Amino acid sequence: MKTILITGSTDGIGKLTALKLAKEGHEIYLHGRSEDKLNAVINELKEASNNKNIKGFIADFSDLNAVKQMAEQIINDVEKLDVLINNAGIFKTATNKTKDGLDIRMAVNYLAPYILTENIISVLEKGTNTRVVNLSSAAQSTVQKGVLSGDATVNASESYAQSKLALTMWSFIFAKQHQNITTIAVNPGSLLNTKMVKEAYGQHWSPAEKGVAILFELATSKTHQNESGKYFDNDKGMYAKAYPDVYNLIKTESLITETKSILKK
């Protein structure tokens, strides 16, 4: 039995993956923004999976201080984590900036998982064959310094694509720095049938289950144990080359330096 945390798990493939893992008897920690919704989903999944070991954490990932508080709560409440699935993400939003003036997609899709993961290393290191699965996307685009810092504004698709590339670049660096943790970036599949995709595009290509199946596999299957620092493209159904910037050391180092300086503010 593994102890598993899935961010953004009150909806979409996060919720469906949590249910599938709960049915297998794993201990599950959900995460959501709304306390009412989180509690409702916890109760729903307990009943549907016949598994009482489901708890949750509340944090609005557009508020980076809330993410830090959630990390502290995890350190205090969770003995060890065997799997962390950084699934929380946003595309379409009513506002493009966070209350701190950051690009909202960059904050939620990249800075929040970065903060969360880097701050709970001690809990991850206590896990057995620990895995970190970072949800990337087929949409990736070169990270602009101004978009990262919130000083430049681009359209939703562009900021989403940049945030997903930033997450993938950091994923590869994190894998190098923590060789005892299997870290994999994954494009779970393009235009899956989820709320986020419907809001963004009004259509879908593949069932949500396609994404659920790969997340379940990356979290539990032995076949992925030695694939750390790689990119799994579920549109192709295999490990594939990531976006070229991921392999560019200068760009990657500059991203991490810039990220640290933004988070110091």
Q: What is the CATH number of the domain that holds 164?
A: 3.40.50.720
pLDDT means per 10 residues in the chain (265 residues)? 97 94 98 97 97 98 98 98 96 92 97 98 98 95 96 94 98 97 91 53 58 94 96 94 96 97 91
Tokens 């999976």: give the residue: 49
**Count of domains forming the chain:** 1
Task: Write down the pTM of the prediction.
Answer: 0.94
Distance CA 67, CA 87 (A): 14
Structural domain including 178 reads: 3-264
Burial pattern 217-240, b for ≥16 Cβ within 10 A else e, equals ebbbeeebeebbbbbbbbeeeeee
| Residue 210 pLDDT | 77
Tokens 């966070």: give the residue: 98
| Residue 209 pLDDT | 74
